[in-house]
Structure 1
């Protein structure tokens, strides 16, 4: 006779799916509101790359995003009613009236409110050991890493006008910029191609086969056609996919670009469900924005959990 799955424990006030800056910020605020919290963290996502963040106020020498996550986890550990659980949520169900049930590999949890901070999946160029370069010399964000690469040899990777636009922006920081489509298709418009040519930015229609470098720092990439392109930094403009699978399970409304639609308090279209971080917008994917949105969502969820007599009329 097979064993039955364990019954869910008593509901927590809030379940947060995602342990990056947005999720940890929300958990900290909720913990300080004396709410019981579970954070589900798989240890994946942008904040687990090798990137050093120089934009976050209070760290004059910058801070590695993995270190920021570690500091956030240590900070949250001061609150025994907030826990980080290393499980991948595979399904969820419920509503604000019945509560929400989260499922993961035979485990179940219940929560009165739910926050989604699942981020996005970046489409970095794939070549042997590409993960070693992500965040060290392969980037996705000018605001985060453009300044450190001024005057250096930069390769922009992408086959659309968005990639062409980023190459033009990077040209303001360096006169050594090239664009590689890294795709079977080349969708750069004639207008953007003329602008690239006027700026002296070559466009190469080829794909990356391998990289040469040491400890995650590029020396060159080799293309399928045999070109060897020396570089110091690669900026990937191949897009990202928002991780909305769980949002779709609850029929949460999405924006036309596929991100979770939220209001100014991070409320989604489903009562009791909030979203924060890169999941909520096509642009402004910054640690500072994620931390702010997590705090905002937590405050909104805390107010939602108040009994009616404590709410303004």
Structure 2
């Protein structure tokens, strides 16, 4: 593209598409580049996103958001941005089928959950059936009084198991590798909550419509749902390429208006803070878009 965009949005999940809707309605020239591998589209059904009392699948929600962005003139391209460079005029982004110059960039690249050791096809089937779940904030309600396994160790696994204990009395913490690595404080928390602990390694070996079987060092255990508490990997590579500040967890550091440490570069959604909440990501997308519009207006009035 010979022309220079007002904003390139990298990532077409809830944060990126919310920003696209806002920016398109601000009459700005924008492009969304998305690789189609965002987490939101893998959600079978979310019941805590306001406005959908019967729930909505992540795929359908993202489809509707794309349709809304298109309606106001936003362009969306399916590709993976591999390179981002700072220029005197802004940025240059490169992907498989081309490149573009842009005054500003919004990174809405999200994170990727670390999966338990199991066949990818089996994992995706289990996820679709609610046998594997990744967000107890989103769907802890759905496992109320059910038998739940948490695959994790150290404080992360303990925290997730204790959180789920507020939904069901039947919570088991399973080590992903060998023996659980627990501090005395963690052991006390688990004991106080009545959470059973099992040494690993843990591997999902079978699923049905209603249960998932996990193989451990102590035998086979059957659960209604399993939560992998194995952490996630933040898609921060593009931010690193232009020298943006990252925090200790690898998330992109931003101010209260979603500006990064690099002028003209903004970030929103789970790449900023891994809260794993659609509504939160959408809110940050709206804030980022408004900030981008106002920052651009400082250099030249935006007139019709």
- Normalising by the smaller structure, the TM-score range is over 0.9
SS at match of 1:77: helix
- 1:265 to 1:228, Cα distance in 2 relative to 1, 3 A: same
d(CA) in 2 for partners of 1:279 and 1:56? 20
Determine the structure 1 residue equivalent to 2:293.
302
Q: Where in structure 2 are the equivalents of 1:234-313 lying within 5 Å?
A: 234-282=226-274, 284-308=275-299, 310=301
Contact 1:211 1:218 in 2 (8 A): no
State the 1:160 CA deviation: 1.2
- Name the residue aligned to 1:11: 4
In structure 1, the partner of 2:99 is: 108
Distance 1:212 1:309, change over 3 A: closer
- CA drift of 1:189 comes to 1.2
Distance in 2 separating the partners of 1:84 and 1:155: 39
Task: Find the counterpart in structure 2 of residue 141 from structure 1.
Answer: 135
Specify the alignment match of 1:3 in structure 2: none
SS at match of 2:52: coil
Whole-angstrom distance in 2 between the partners of 1:69 and 1:204: 38
Pairwise CA distance, 1:108? 1.1
The CA distance in 1 between the partners of 2:90 and 2:185, in whole Å, is 53
Point out where structure 1 has 5 or more consecutive residues left out of the alignment. Answer: 1-7
Q: Is the 8 A contact 1:212 1:218 kept in 2?
A: no
> Which position in structure 2 is the counterpart of 1:172?
166
Task: Provide structure 2 residue ranges, at least 5 long, that are not aligned to the other structure.
Answer: none
> Is the contact between residue 19 and residue 39 of structure 1 (CA under 8 Å) also seen in structure 2?
yes
2:117 to 105, 118, 126: 126
**In 2, Cα distance between equivalents of 1:99 and 1:165:** 42
Mapped to 2, the partners of 1:258 and 1:279 lie a distance apart of: 9
* 1:88 and 2:105 correspond: no
Q: Distance in 1 between matches of 2:40 and 2:212?
A: 26
Q: In the alignment, is residue 56 of structure 1 matched against residue 88 of structure 2?
A: no
Match of 2:222 in 1: 230
Verify the 8 A CA contact 1:54 1:60 in the aligned structure 2: yes
Task: Confirm or deny: 8 A CA contact 1:208 1:223 kept in the other structure.
Answer: yes
Q: State which of 70, 73, 80 in structure 1 corresponds to 2:63.
A: 70
Question: What number of residue pairs does the alignment pair up?
Answer: 299
| Contact 2:151–2:202 (Cα < 8 Å) also in 1 | no
Determine the C-alpha separation between the residues in 2 that align with 1:93 and 1:77.
27
In the aligned structure 1, how far is the partner of 2:57 from the partner of 2:256? 29
| In structure 2, distance between residues paired with 1:76 and 1:125 | 35
Report the CA distance shift for 1:10/1:310 in structure 2 as closer, same or farther (over 3 A).
closer
Q: Aligned-pair distance for 1:94? A: 1.7
* Whole-Å separation in 1 of the counterparts to 2:41 and 2:202: 24
TM-score, scaled to structure 2: 0.93
Match of residue 205 from structure 2:
211
**1:229-249: CA deviations, max 9, x gaps?**
111111121101111000000
Aligned-CA RMSD value: 1.8
**2:155 corresponds to 1:161:** yes
Change (3 A) 1:201 1:11: same
**For the residues of structure 2 that align with 1:309 and 1:94, how far apart are their CA atoms?**
21
After TM superposition, the score normalised by the length of structure 1 is 0.90
